[in-house]
Structure 1
């Protein structure tokens, strides 16, 4: 009798670069299709709208996959399209690009999450006055009162030695039929591991992750809090009253 709890399958990072244009196009299409499906069936999991993103040209989706300061992790089915079981190894940065591409092309995508960063965070600001609040972590990703992905040319090669490195998790989505199997938790754990490795590689002294969710999305709030995130009060001056903020500081000296 089939197990009521199928194997979780591995978490595979979308590699960069993807040498073959045909592979790149296929992976971009898979990313686009899963994200649009998520926006349609579970809109409260996102800060974007299906009606907006469905109109994006292919080049916009391609730029997201290739963004040099963002990494998308994919939870895939442990069985290939031919029914061959090929394991459920957890996420690892050392997974070869060719092997990652093979898995992303051969296996069904069950969920995705994207980590943006790192960017340098300063606890001081020229705008801080006696009456203005201290900058919050999430403000590193806000421009013109909206969350925006930083321009890679302005941050990717910036020296982060001994700096506080900030990351933003966005777009976590699991297919409805694949839920209640621990996949969301595995993607969050993989994201934390990715942040730890990136911050160490950049020689940062401290690393933190920021997440924003809808105030009514109690399942997401619980998921992140179980992983070690804590709720914050967000500065209303940034126009973010419609979201709830969560943060966590990542221990750079430990794998737990």
Structure 2
């Protein structure tokens, strides 16, 4: 379904949900119903289920927004503050592991897993000789009523911009990835237009989803910055 004809991209704004009292309240009041509605609307698009997450208590929900390695980007209607699209940026990750559920690979506190001293006063500015900063973006989702306004692209650009800034501040190269389903041509096309590409040497991987008790083929796409 296309976006309402009386709405355009200018009627939405992209924000990062802050980790403060107001942000936590917004997360519970706006993001939680958005997430649950998304799981009901398109269950095949997620690695989790509505039945699982509807049972979460507030502490579990707030644990997500308070995760120091995660930033939640959302598109909201400017007149109502209703969330209509979102994505999350996870990192810096402790290693180069790419997962269909990036939260599962967060095994270290911020800064752990770094192999270089980012506070070094080295005279060299050659970031190619330094260890990459690893990030993973979780899949973008837009409610059907808000599709067609470029919100997915705007969210991806906001998240990649944040990852680039983090890597640049440490004078290190960026390694940013996202997991997609190989039969989701629309999603692959959006990521390609935002500077992501598949590694031709990587084949699709059959991944077991422990939550759904199913197996699904996935592929990794990597940000190159050159759409």
For the residue of structure 1 that corresponds to 2:217, the secondary structure is: coil
Report the CA distance shift for 1:200/1:58 in structure 2 as closer, same or farther (over 3 A): same
CA distance in structure 2 between the aligned counterparts of 1:32 and 1:167, rounded to whole angstroms: 24
For the residue of structure 2 that corresponds to 1:116, the secondary structure is: strand
CA distance in structure 1 between the aligned counterparts of 2:151 and 2:26, rounded to whole angstroms: 23
Where do 5+ consecutive residues of structure 2 fail to align?
A: 119-129, 209-214
CA distance in structure 2 between the aligned counterparts of 1:4 and 1:14, rounded to whole angstroms: 23
Alignment of 1:155-170 (within 5 A): 155-158=109-112, 159=114, 161=118, 162-170=130-138
For the residue of structure 2 that corresponds to 1:110, the secondary structure is: strand
The runs of 4+ residues in structure 1 deviating greater than 6 Å are none
Q: Give the TM-score taking structure 2 as reference length.
A: 0.76
In the alignment, which of 229, 242, 247 is matched to residue 217 of structure 2? 242
CA distance in structure 1 between the aligned counterparts of 2:148 and 2:26, rounded to whole angstroms: 28
CA distance in structure 2 between the aligned counterparts of 1:188 and 1:60, rounded to whole angstroms: 26
Q: Give the TM-score taking structure 1 as reference length.
A: 0.68
Contact (CA 8 Å) 1:209, 1:248: kept in 2 or not? yes
Number of residues paired by the alignment? 201
Aligned to 1:94: none
Once the two structures are TM-superposed, the CA of residue 216 in structure 1 deviates from its matched residue by 2.2
Once the two structures are TM-superposed, the CA of residue 112 in structure 1 deviates from its matched residue by 0.9
Q: What whole-Å deviation, never above 9, does each CA across 1:202-250 have from its counterpart, x for those lacking one?
A: x152112111122222111111111111123257486575212211135
CA distance in structure 2 between the aligned counterparts of 1:5 and 1:155, rounded to whole angstroms: 40
Q: What whole-Å deviation, never above 9, does each CA across 1:147-206 have from its counterpart, x for those lacking one?
A: 61404xx230334533211111114211111100111110011111011112223x1521
In the alignment, which of 184, 205, 222 is matched to residue 172 of structure 2? 205
RMSD: 2.8
For the residue of structure 2 that corresponds to 1:75, the secondary structure is: strand
CA distance in structure 2 between the aligned counterparts of 1:173 and 1:199, rounded to whole angstroms: 25
Q: Does residue 1:178 correspond to 2:178, yes or no? A: no
Aligned to 1:148: 104
In the alignment, which of 214, 217, 226 is matched to residue 193 of structure 2? 226
Contact (CA 8 Å) 2:176, 2:222: kept in 1 or not? yes
Contact (CA 8 Å) 2:139, 2:179: kept in 1 or not? no
Report the CA distance shift for 1:238/1:181 in structure 2 as closer, same or farther (over 3 A): closer
Once the two structures are TM-superposed, the CA of residue 5 in structure 1 deviates from its matched residue by 3.3
CA distance in structure 2 between the aligned counterparts of 1:207 and 1:219, rounded to whole angstroms: 25
